[in-house]
Structure 1
C-alpha cells in the first residue's frame, strides 16, 4: 500500500469516527482512537490536504455539500457546444477524450481488448481499465470489494476481451492520480450519456453543480432523472467527476462506489482548493 492509499484509509477511519460522534472530535481524541500520537496524526492530515484535522472535519460533514452549493456552484452554460469530442482540464492533468461510434456501442465491446488492473489511489483501491485508445473505466473497491467492482465494469461491455495487465495499466492509473502528464479517455456510452459526461468535465476541481444544471446545459432541462441515471452510469469515476454533481437541496445524491468515497473526494478537492 502506498502513502496515498494509506492516507485514504486513515481518512476513512476518521470519517467513521466523526459520523459516529455526537459532536466534533478533538485532535487528541481522534489520534487516540486511531492509536497514533497527536503529532503524527496531525502531520499525516496536513501532508495529505494542507489543513489541520480540525479544519478537515468540517469538509467531511454532511453540511459541506450545502456549503459547496452556496459558495462554489458552477453554472454550466446552456449554450455550450456539447459535441462528441473535445478537450478539458482536470486539476493539472490534461485530458483528451474520444467517444465511440454508435456502431461500436451497439456491438457491446465486440472486437475490443480491454486491459485492467487494481492499483492504489488516494481513495482506496482503484480498478482502472483501458482500450488502446485510452482509459475506459475506473472504479473503487472500498465499499463493493474487488469481485463486485470487476463484475460491474466488465458487464458494461459483455462482448469485449478482458486482460489483466498491471504493466500497462499501472502507469496510466498513477498519472491519473498524481495529475501529471496527459490522459486519454475512451468514452463508451450512449449519445445522451456522453453529453452528460462531457458536461461533468466542465466542473472545476473544488466546485460542484446540480443534476438540474447539467440537464439545462445539455439543452434538455426536463431530463433531470435521465441525467441522474447517466451520471450514475459514468464508467470513468473521478476523472469524469460525477462526484461533483449534487441535488438542489444540497444532499449528496447517490454515488455508484459508495457515498463515503464521494464525500472523501469532495473533501479532498475542497481542502486543496482552499490550501492553494
Structure 2
C-alpha cells in the first residue's frame, strides 16, 4: 500500500468511527475533525465509500439493518444456486480456503507456527495471524484494543508457537482490504463450524441473511444456537462475512469485535453496492471478496 493510500485508510477509518459515535455531525464539523476542507473530505470519502458522508450516516442507522433484511436479503440457497458462491462474479478477489485437519484442530494447534502482526484497516486497528498455508486469524481491535485482540486470537490455538512477523502476513492483509492479490485462508475449526463458515461465504456483499438460514445451509436447521456460536467464533472477520448474519427481526444481534464495527461493515457494503448499481466507479480500499471452491472438511 502506498503512502497516500495508507493516509486515506486512516482518514476513512477515523471518519467512520466518528460518524458511528456522533451520527448527527454535519459535513463541516466532520471534515474539521479529519483536518481537511469540506470539499476535499467529501471527495475522498465519496470516492472510497461510494456515497457521500451524509448518505453513509443514513446507512449506519439501525433501521438500515431491517431494510436490508426486508428488501435486499438473499437466502443462502438462492445465492448458492445462482452461482454467486462459485465464480464470484460480483467480486474481484480470488480467495482460496483450506481447512486444517480435524486432528490438528483437536490438538489445539500443537506443532503449528503462527506469525502475526498489527495493521490498519478501514474498520480500525486489526490483528492478523497466518501459517504457511494462509491467513488463520483476523480480528478488529477498536473496542478490545490490540493486545486483548491478539490474546483472544491466540487463545484459539493455545498450543501453537506464535512469532511476531508482520511482513509474513502483510500480503494477505493487503489483499483482504484492497482487493489486490490473493488472500489465502487456513482455518481450524470443528466440522459444524466449518460448514457454518462456508455458508457465510455464499452471502454476497451488500446482502444479509438470518442465523436460521445459516443453520439450514450448514445442514442442521434446528441448530440455530450452535450456528450462532460458530458465527461468533469466526476467526477471520470480514473475509468470512459473519457481519452479514442478522436476527429475523432485523436486529443486528451480536458481533465478536463490537457492534459499531458490524454496523460500519454493513453500511460500507450497502453503500458501495448501491453505488455500483448506479454505475459509479469506485476506488478499492477494501476487499470485495470472491470465492471459489468449497471447504475441505
Is TM-score (shorter-chain normalized) higher than 0.5? Answer: yes
Whether contact under 8 Å (2:231, 2:242) holds in the other structure is yes
| Partners of 2:172 and 2:184 within 8 A in 1 | no
Structure 2 equivalent of residue 97 of structure 1: 97
3-state SS of paired residue (2:40): helix
What is the CA–CA distance in structure 2 between the aligned matches of 1:248 and 1:275, rounded to whole Å? 26
- Higher relative CO (Cα under 8 Å, sequence separation at least 6) belongs to 2
Q: What is the deviation of 1:216?
A: 1.2
- Aligned partner of 2:116 in structure 1 is 116
Q: How does 1:150-189 map to 2 (within 5 A)?
A: 150-189=150-189
Instruction: Indicate conservation of the 8 Å contact 1:116/1:128, yes or no.
Output: yes
Aligned to 1:8: 13
CA shift digits 1:177-217 (9 cap, x unpaired): 11122221111100010000000000111111110111111
Shift, 1:223, TM fit? 0.7
Q: CA 1:88–1:236 in structure 2 vs 1: closer, same or farther (change >3 Å)? A: farther
Shift of the 225–180 alpha-carbon distance from structure 1 to 2, 3 Å rule, reads same
Q: Distance in 2 between matches of 1:10 and 1:223?
A: 38
User: Which residues of 2 match residues 4-83 of structure 1 at below 5 A?
Assistant: 4-18=9-23, 21=24, 25-31=25-31, 36-77=36-77
Partner of 1:202: 202
Q: How many pairs were matched up?
A: 267
Cα distance 1:54–1:254, how it changes in 2: closer, same or farther (>3 A)?
A: same
In structure 2, what is the Cα distance between the partners aligned to 1:31 and 1:187? 40
In structure 1, what is the Cα distance between the partners aligned to 2:29 and 2:10? 23
- Structure 1 vs Structure 2 CA RMSD: 2.1
Query: 1:2 aligns to what SS in structure 2?
Result: helix
User: C-alpha displacement at 1:142, in angstroms?
Assistant: 1.0
CA distance in structure 1 between the partners assigned to 2:193 and 2:34 by the alignment: 42
**How far apart, CA to CA, are the structure 1 residues paired with 2:86 and 2:130?**
18
TM-score using structure 2 length: 0.84
Cross-structure match for 1:224: 224
Native 8 Å contact 1:117 1:127 kept in 2: yes
2:289 corresponds to: none
Q: Secondary structure at the match of 2:135?
A: strand
Q: Which runs of 5+ in 2 are unaligned?
A: 1-5, 277-297
Quick check: 2:15–2:30 contact (8 Å CA) kept in 1?
no
Q: Deviations over 1:103-122 (max 9, x none)?
A: 11111000100011111111
Decide whether aligned partners of structure 1 residues 2 and 112 sit closer, same or farther in structure 2, where only a CA change above 3 A counts: farther
Residues 35, 6 of structure 1: alpha-carbon distance in 2 compared, 3 angstrom cutoff:
closer
d(CA) in 2 for partners of 1:275, 1:34: 24
Deviation at 1:5, TM superposition (A): 2.8
Provide TM-score, normalisation by structure 1. 0.90
**Inter-CA distance 168–64: structure 2 relative to 1 (3 Å threshold):** same
Structure 1 stretches lacking a partner, 5+ long:
none
Match of 1:243 in 2: 243
Quote how far apart the aligned CAs of 1:35 are.
6.0
> Could you tell me whether the CA contact under 8 Å between 1:42 and 1:53 is conserved in 2?
yes
Q: CA deviation at 1:50?
A: 1.9
